[in-house]
Amino acid sequence: MHSQNKIYKDIVDKALGEILTPALEPFIKRKMKEKYGNNWLHNARLRLQEYHIEGNDLNWNDPQVLLKLISDNWNDVFYKQHKFDHFQRSLVNELLDVRNKVKHNNLSQFDYEYTFRALDSMERLLTATDAKKAAQEVKELKQELDSLASAGQIEKTPEVAISSQLAPVLNSNDWSVNTDDIDWKQACHTILEKQQESQRIRRKATAMGFEVNIHVPLGLVERKQQQRRNENVER
């Protein structure tokens, strides 16, 4: 059985590969051409490794290639030409680290907080490059995760067990399912709808006087301070 860390990693992986990378490619090509003209591809290849290159072109499907192009050509192309500042550069460096953790399957890093931050950094970088549609897609995915957390269905701590919630959504108890085929946004939305319906049933049952077994984690209930006895009351 895959751990929930694998699920979070796959969410980040798909956001990197299917949203961030396709949106950055035309932006990078345009800026490199503005600086180097028809010789832009030669300049792009200079600081990349052989595994970043496919034939006479670059491996545009690898997020590392695009992020390295921004980082390696920062001063001459993106900082001066596009007027990026150091905040955007920190986003690029952070996402390079995220990509490496995904590539090397460093599952221990992928909890809710790390996933949310990675998506947030992608949204901010895409916004800075005027890729509004892609930024909105990442924002919606981030909002779905946040909605689950706000509903109390995902704790904002590592090792949150959500596999039992995802299994019925994916119609599979076998976690060998190909996660590349999963629509994570829809999966999160479906989970949230199921949990909201469950909460409505509980509230209705409580209003009718039935006892409902609801687990409340320690620390979430505020302790009421007891009134002190009046000192004049006879003992």
Over residues 64-110, the pLDDT tens digits come to 999 999 999 998 888 866 678 889 999 999 999 999 999 999 888 89
Report phi then psi at 105, rounded to 5. 55, 45
Check whether 154 has a pLDDT greater than 90.
no
The mean pLDDT value of the chain amounts to 76
Structure tokens at 9: 């990693």
pLDDT of residue 218: 43
Structure confidence at residue 128 as a pLDDT band (50, 70, 90)? very high
* Of the candidate ranges 13-27, 42-56, 62-76, 182-196, the one whose mean pLDDT is the lowest: 182-196
Contact at 8 Å (CB) between 14 and 110? Answer: no
Contact at 8 Å (CB) between 141 and 119? Answer: yes
pLDDT of residue 175: 41
Higher-pLDDT residue of 148 and 127 is 127
Between strands 57-58 and 53-54, the pairing is antiparallel
- pTM for the model stands at 0.63
What one-letter code names the amino acid at 180? D
